[in-house]
Each structure stands twice: as structure tokens, then as C-alpha cells.
Amino acid sequence: MIFKASKRSGGRQLGAHLLKAEENEHVEIHEVSGFISDTVMGAMNEAYAAARGTKCQRYLFSMSLSPPAHESVRVETFEKAISDIEERLGLTGQPRVIVFHEKEGRRHCHAVWSRINAQTMTAIDMPFFKNKLQALAKDIYLENGWAMPKGFANPRLRDARNFSLDEWQQAKRAGVDPRELKSAILDCWQQADNAKSFAAALEERGLFLARGDQRSFVAVTIDGDVHSITRILPDRKRDIISRLGDPAALPSVSDTRQKIAEQIAPRLSRYIGEAKRIAHHNMQPLVAKREALKVQHQAERQAIDTKLETRWNEEQRIRSSRLRKGIAGAWDLLTGKYFKTRKQNEMEAKFARERDSHERHALIHAQHKDRQALQELIKENRRKEAERILGLYRDAAKFRQMREGEAERDRNGRTRDARSLSPKRRDRGLDLG
């Protein structure tokens, strides 16, 4: 299970993110405990109010727990992981919020704790929490028998194509798949020997090598977005500079954007816009199917929740009827029958809870399979449309290189013609008209 954790402030923004239904197909508030309020936003406001009595700025500890993509993980597994996290970080007994998100056939969990100890009005210190969580995450992989990612087991084997949240958001705003972007830059780097060949390979993929303001080398997309090459490539910065040379020799970002605007964008803007329109049109049936599946799954969950609640209430009524009242109840208490009946009720209630949890998880697991099958179709459609747009980028680069080559040949030809004529010969030619 992959953990992402941070100390943070901004409770209202975090609460809005936890409840955001636009980016998630299912949002389930699993627990709000330790707060007076029973809502997520109310809990965030309480945590902020408690922090006002201290000097603590980052009064929340936020975590996301992501299991492997194709594993069916029960709620109890998440709960045990959260309990282990609390024990290792000293957060046991602290107010917390647990929310489940489901998207693209996968489920992950968000857990948020208040760091403020209400008894001492101090913030709980969590030294080296990243190292502790790293060790715990590996233990969870081993306990559940999950295949551990190579890069997680050994950082030296980490896939360089993985991207950070900032890279994802930047590429998402630009309308480019970050996986495709990172993969393209890595492929160009592997086949390039110097800055010229690297720049030429990038241009075939719709990217332009430039000199960044803060970072040495950047890639500029045809939309004008800037991506750091030194952050994307796995090599060290000095190794990159040794291969590409002095970045001062490259054009600046502003010059590169101007070049794109003058030479390429006018020719390709309508073609790329048409390709994106076609991609959007082709995705509509899959999006409609995804929304229909979302509504269907929500209805199925509401139906099973109603069924389980009705059955639980009926079974509770039967269990309660076993405990007699009045004189009969006093006699059962004296003879010990009351305690045997109560123990029986507790065991039956425990088994009933496990049974209900198993039935609900079975439904969710079946829904995940349906959603993952649809997601494979969506991924394949996205791949085809990305290839189409990348093809336009390659055509544009080849067309521009062809025009530059023709212009260069024309200049060289005029120079050779001029040099082949002596000044006297040229004058005579001009006199003859």
C-alpha cells in the first residue's frame, strides 16, 4: 500500500477536496470521530479552532492510502493500516476523518488527523514520519501477499517515467497525457548525442528545447507550456549539461514561444483543434457509458445498504427480545442466564457485522471489475488519439525542417553563383541587361 502523507493547514480546502464528487465516481464518508460535529467540514473547522489556541500552523496530518490497482482490498484492511499508522506516529486517540474515494475502478482512502492534543493544547510531534511510514508500507505489502513495486522495494529500480503531482497537474492543464510527455522526453534523451540531435528529436514530438529562467534546460510544448527537462530525466544535472553543452547557447523560453507562434502554431492550430474535437467526440460514448455505470453502481449500493440495514434492525429486535424484563429478567440475572444470552447476542451481532461487510464488499468488488473493463477501453481510446496528435506534431516538425532546408539550399546556391562571377563579369552582365 502506497502512503502519501504531509503536515498541512487549510482545513477548508482539504475538506472540499475530500468531498469533491466531480473528480471521483464514488465518495464515501466512512468515519468522523473525536469531533463534536459529525460532518467533514464541521470537523475541519473544529480542528482549525483548536489550533488557534496554539502556535501550530500545520495543525492537520493528511494521508492517502492507495493499494495495488488490481487488488480487492476490504475496509478492515484499511482500518488496520490506519490503526498501525496511529500507533507508530503517536496519533492514537486523536480526532480523525476517514473518507473513501473511487475512480477508474480503483479505491483509495484518505485519513486526516488533528495534531492538536486537547489536553495539553500542544501539537503532536512526529519526527521522521516518512521513514516510519515507508517501513510500515512494506510490512503491509508483505502481510497481504501483494506484489511490491520494484522501485518501492529498491529506490534504484524506480521507474523514471513516474511523475509527481505537480507534473500531472501541469500536463493536465495543457491537455497532454503526462505519461506520453515523459516517455517522449526519455526516448529522445536515449537516442540523442548532443543538444542538436536532442532538439531535433524533441521537435518531432511537438516539443522544443529552450533555456529556462531557473532551470538549465526546459521543453516547450506547442501550446507554450514549459516542462523542466532536468526534473524529468533520471540523470544528474551535471551529466545533462556535459552532453547538451552550455544552456546559454539555447534560445530563451520567450524566443521559443515567439518562434512557435510565428512558424508553427498558425499552420497547426486548426489541425490540432480538429484532432482534439474528434478525440472528444470519440470519447463521448465511453463517457456516457461511464456515467451510466456510475448511476447504476450507486443505485445498487443504496439498495444493498437498505437491505442490510433492514435485516440488521430485524435481527437486533430478535436479539433484544431474548433479554426478558421485570421479575423474569431479575431471575435470569440471578441464575446467570442473562449473561449467557447477552454473550450469545454479542457473538451473533459480531458475525452479522462480518457477514454484512462481506456482502457489501463482494458487490463493490464486482462493480470494480466492470469499471476496470470499461477503463481499459478508455485507455486504449486515449492512446490512439494521443498517437494521432503526436503524428501532427511530427508532420509539423518535418515540414518546418524541409522549409528551412530549402531556404538554406537557396542561400547557398545564390552564394555559389555570386562567387563564380568576377566583378568585371558581373558588371558586364548588368550592363547588358
Q: What is the DSSP letter of 125?
A: P
Instruction: Give the per-residue pLDDT at 173.
Output: 53
Q: Does any domain span residue 19?
A: yes
Both 68 and 140 in a single domain? yes
Strand partners, 117: 122
Q: Is 350 part of any domain?
A: yes
d(CA 64, CA 100): 10
Look-up of cell digits 530525466? 233
Answer yes or no: do 20 and 150 share one domain. yes
The rounded radius of gyration (Å) of the Cα atoms in the chain is 32
φ, ψ of residue 171 in degrees (nearest 5) = -70, -35
**Residue 260 is assigned to a structural domain of this protein:** no
What local confidence, expressed as pLDDT, does residue 428 receive? 40
Answer whether residue 185 is part of any domain. yes
Question: The CATH number of the domain where 148 resides is what?
Answer: 3.30.930.30
- Same-domain check for residues 229 and 295: no
- Are 64 and 140 within one domain? yes
Residue numbers of the domain that contains 238? 165-251
For residue 81, what pLDDT is reported?
A: 92
First to last CA, the chain: 84
Q: State residue 420's pLDDT score.
A: 55
User: Which of 140, 157, 174 is the last residue before a domain boundary?
Assistant: 157
Q: Mark whether 80 and 19 lie in a shared domain.
A: yes
Whether 364 contacts 356, CB under 8 Å = no
CA distances from 179 to 162, 164, 226, 346 (A): 8, 11, 16, 52
Residues 54 and 146 in one domain: yes
Q: Is residue 152 part of a domain?
A: yes
The domain tally of the chain equals 3
Nearest to 284 by CA among 372, 369, 370, 378: 378
> Is residue 141 assigned to a domain?
yes
Q: Is residue 15 part of a domain?
A: yes
Q: State whether 8 and 147 are in the same domain.
A: yes
Per-residue pLDDT of the chain (433 residues), as tens digits, is 889 999 999 999 999 999 988 888 889 999 999 999 999 999 999 999 999 988 899 999 999 998 888 888 888 999 999 999 999 999 999 999 999 998 888 889 999 999 999 889 999 998 899 989 988 988 888 888 887 776 665 554 455 455 555 555 555 555 556 677 788 888 888 888 888 888 888 887 778 888 887 657 888 886 677 888 888 888 887 788 888 888 888 888 888 887 776 766 566 566 666 767 777 777 788 888 888 888 899 899 999 999 999 999 999 999 999 888 888 888 888 889 999 999 999 999 999 999 998 999 999 888 888 888 888 888 888 777 777 777 666 666 655 655 565 556 666 666 665 555 544 444 443 333 3
Distance of CA 297 to the CA centre of its chain: 23
Handedness of CA 34, 37, 42, 47 (dihedral sign): negative
On whether both 318 and 369 belong to a single domain, the answer is yes
pLDDT value of residue 382: 78
Largest CA distance in the chain: 137
Q: Which of 218, 251, 284 is the last residue of a domain?
A: 251
Phi and psi based region of residue 238 (left: phi greater than 0; alpha: psi -120 to 50; beta: remaining): alpha
**286 plus 370 within the same structural domain:** yes
- Shared domain check, 150 and 7: yes
Judged by DSSP in three states, 113 sits in strand
- Give yes or no: residues 125 and 191 share one domain: no
Question: Domain ends where: 157, 183, 218?
Answer: 157
**pLDDT for position 432:** 31
- pTM > 0.75: yes or no: no
Q: Is residue 230 part of a domain?
A: yes
| Residues listed for the chain | 433
Strands in 2-59 per DSSP E: 2-8, 26-33
> Residue 164's pLDDT is what?
56
Q: Determine the Cα–Cα distance for residues 317 and 227; give it in Å rounded to an integer.
A: 63
Q: Kindly state whether residues 150 and 18 are assigned to the same domain.
A: yes
